[in-house]
Chain A
Amino acid sequence: MTLPKVLRGRAWKFGNNIDTDQIIPAKYAIYSLDEKELGKHAMEGVPGRETWASQVGQGDIMVGGSNFGCGSSREIAPVAIRGAGVSLVVADSFARIFFRNAINMGYPILQSPQASEAIEDGDELEVDLEQGIIRNFTKGDEYRSDSFPPFMNELLRMGGLVPWVRKQLEERRRTAGVRG
């Protein structure tokens, strides 16, 4: 799985400190292995956004404030957002486990305080992932995102930690084979 270079979609704006129990209430953890079902309940715990999952369109873009995804380590948080059809999450900053989980899944996230501040709900966006540029067609603005260390970019390009581990395992097997 490789990522498309450019993503386009409508912005859905959320606030600061959106925690994992708001992204996907723990009661839905019983659907841990079912991304589509999790997607149906994404953001249900955010007051006023109880029916958000039924409004979001395929490929739409989520824009959060600071410390997005704080709280639990449950990977079902980014999985639910992806399951709802969101193609990318942009935020002022991410809580660390949410950040890790997204990178490990090969799911694109961008950190951009500028974009998080300026973008409003309903704005039409285009995101160039390679350049890290977010264009706002509604406002005629353009925002830059913070760059990631090379290893994280490599993980994202490869499609996450799964293909990386596969490669490591193949190398280990080869080495063991040579030795054996």
Chain B
Amino acid sequence: MATTLLRPDQTFYPSPRLAAKAPVETLAYMVTFDPTRKKPDGLLTLDVDPKSAGFGKEVGRAEVPNVGDEFHHFGWNVCSSALCPYAAHPHLERRYLLVPGLRSSRIYIFDVKPNPKQPKLVHTIEAKEIAERAGYSRPHTIHCGPDGIYVSALGAPDGNAPGGIFVIDHDTFAVKGRWELDRGPQQLAYDFWWHLGYDTAITSEWGTPNMVEAGVNPELLLAGEYGHKLHIWDLPKRRHRQEIDLGKEQQMVLELRPAHDPSKAYGFVGVVVSLKDLSSSIWTWHLDGSTYKVEKVIEIPAEPADPNDLPPLLKGFKAVPPLVTDINLSLDDRWLYVSAWGTGEFLQFDVSDPFKPKKTGSLHLGGIVRKAAHPKSGPLNGGPQMVEISRDGNRAYLTNSLYASWDEQFYPEGIKSWATSIHAKPEGGLSLDEGFFSTFEQRTHQVHLEGGDASSDSYCYS
């Protein structure tokens, strides 16, 4: 199915420094899902060219033949890591988007080459193939690796642990099997990424499908049963090397953003909620000698609130938790972006010194209590959630839904979905884009940009 080129795919860049100079994106791909599971989920194409009359509007939509998939995260078949020296395949073409259904466990493969505005469904990997060949279910994060497509999965087909990673062949799209040869003590899974320059993979923890699919379970949460650890792995040997416990009160250790520069061995991870005071936090992991260490570098406090303004789940706490559920790091490893989905805040930090972040920007959209408006809207609900950064670092794309069953617990009135773009100033600071604010019938989730973005590619050269 894969096709080869005579020269390397021109969207591949050896280093993040070179990728930052890539042409500015004119199209964005965004997945949407129907929370009522009655209509098929979609892969939408958005016009993100500010010079175009249709700026911010939907210009294409690909549908799937099923309902109830719950599209969530997605990724490319191949990317800049194809230039890595030890498993190079630079002439494979970046043209397929792999879109997992987080609930159905199907993975749909869309071809964006014939018409970039109207992706075409060309292949479907069924849940059965993933279960039989890898023993996993509920595929989540997709990263194009040097030697194949890596996918994390929340759990086993029965909805329990362990979750982990499986690999898909980038030539045939066959499921090659479970990635881990030795998983050590790791049971819970969520996100993963790597330091290619150090042959190191990192995985984080959310909860098993049975712990998350019916909504956040307050008993499990207050007992500290959701994920609170990081796992460090030997990437080529596929073996667990180290477990780092952030502490049982640090519930849900989610998005992993390692430095893009492969010569650096540090990165950032967000924690959704602390049982101590409902705060969210960002932690920096780093290589110290031969082991990794982690320290908390940012804490975002909960905001006091009138119980009447709060959903049943939060009334007793008399506060809105910030609920940091996504973070993203610019390609130059300088700016860290943080979505606080509960308070409706989007924050920017200068992380030139990864242990001493400086807050450089903040703005509000939506939020459980604040319901902050955009100049082109009335009061908004949901909050900044999925965040994607352009390769040049000048724009952030935001959507406002988290996960169907959890959306209802925090925003019981039902999320009204939107997507928008934020300007990041070169010297730091954020401003709203007055041109791009769009609403959608279905729930919006991850966005990826034409040719690549700050979370789609990884690099083997500094």
- Chains A and B bind each other: no
Partner-B contacts on A (CB < 8 A): none
